[in-house]
Every structure is written in structure tokens, then in C-alpha cells.
Amino acid sequence: RQHGLSDAQTVFAQQHPEAIDAGVFHNDVIAVGNGPVLLYHEMAFLDEERTLDELRAKMSTPLIPVRVPMEAVSMEDAVASYLFNSQLLSNPDGTMTLVVPSECQEREAVWNTIQNFILAGNNPIGEVIVKDVKQSMRNGGGPACLRLRVVLTEAERAALTGRVLLNDTLYSDLTAWVNRHYRDRLATDDLADPQLATEVLTALDELTQLLNIGSVYPFQQG
């Protein structure tokens, strides 16, 4: 309600309790969607058929469900490999590419499922790219956690202000900003250090200037 979403375009799907008990703390650890394609594990939703039926009824294009059964990928393998925390990307030719963490390749059942079931199936997913994102994985995030995705029309894109679209120059500037302001370690006692608060505010102030987005934080507006 607070997001202003219409009931006609909203589906409240309950995650399966057995998936939660197996370590699926977010639904993006057990399902991933892109456009009309929903790649999901058999145990993703408590009421699978009702969820799919409601999606079909509320989508403007036909739903393409890609269901991975338990006998192909166990809950343990799903969580350990982060198969469903992959990025599912659209290609200009209408096909899709699945970007998976290298852990998927290291687990035989998962890799076999990708090659012989997902890629070989009757769906738009035609390519898989393997990426080593172990640093992120150790913090609980696979490829899908390493991006913010906002779908914009050309008019909306043209209306963007500031330096908010990543390019090589902005990447270099952001990297330099991180190197200037990020501590190389942070201990519990540091959280009581007033200097840490000063460092954070200084970093945020510089970041808003770097991005040309103006004074967006209350401490900048006082």
C-alpha cells in the first residue's frame, strides 16, 4: 500500500516454510524472474499453483514458468550454490542469459540441471555465464545482489539528473572515493567512536557532490 501498487498488479505469495527452514531467508534464494520468465524451485512457494495462476491472471504477457524439481536440485544444493540468486538478463534477440556464481559449477547436480534442463528446456534462457563472486557469497549475496535494476523508458532515462549511470569514468571516481573513505577494518568498539560518525558524514557529503545529486541528507540541509 505504501508503495502505491495496484491490487491488479500485485501478488502476495507465501514462501514455503520448508524452504525457510532450509536457509532460504529471502525469496531470491529460491526463485528469480525476468520479464515473463520465472525460474523457481519446486519448494519456492507454499501454494505453487495458486501463485502461478494469479501471476498468469495479472500479467500482460504469458507467464513462462521454469520449475526446477527437488529430485534435480536439493534444497541444500539450491542454498549452497545460490542458483536462484543468479542474474537473469534479457538479450536484444529476445533470448536470456543466466549469470550464475561459480558455486553452481562446483556442484554436479546444479551444473547438470543448468546444462541439461534449464538451457535445454523450452524457454528463452539460452546461455549461462559463470562468475566468481566469492567475496559477495561469503556475505550472503550472489550475482542478483550485486545490482540495482530499474527499468526505464527513454523519456524517464532522459529525465535523470546527476551522474547516476555507471561508466568507466564514474567507476574510477567511485573507486577512488571508496579508497579514500572506507576503513580497512571495523571493530565493535569503533562504533562508539565519534570520529567514525564524522568520517561517514564527510564521505556521504563528498559522494553526493561526486554524483551531482545535491544535498539529499538532512545533515547537509541544516
pLDDT tens readout for residues 102-139:
999 999 999 999 999 999 999 999 999 999 888 888 87
Range 90-97 average pLDDT: 95
Q: Residue 205 belongs to what domain range? A: 156-221
Residue predicted with more confidence, 150 or 46: 46
Q: Is residue 151 part of a domain?
A: no
Residue 62: band (very low, low, confident or very high) from pLDDT cuts 50, 70, 90: very high
Percent of the chain with pLDDT over 70: 100
Place of cell 500500500: 1
Q: Is residue 133 part of a domain?
A: yes
- To the nearest whole number, what is the mean pLDDT of the chain? 93
Helix axes 194-211, 168-181, angle to 10 degrees: 170
Position 2 scores a pLDDT of 80
Range 174-178 average pLDDT: 98
Number of structural domains (the chain) is 2
- Please say if the pLDDT value at position 79 is more than 90: yes
Whether residues 198 and 106 share a domain: the answer is no
Whether residues 191 and 87 share a domain: the answer is no
d(CA 144, CA 39): 13
Please give the grid coordinates belonging to residue 4.
502505491
Give this prediction's pTM: 0.78
d(CA 74, CA 35): 26
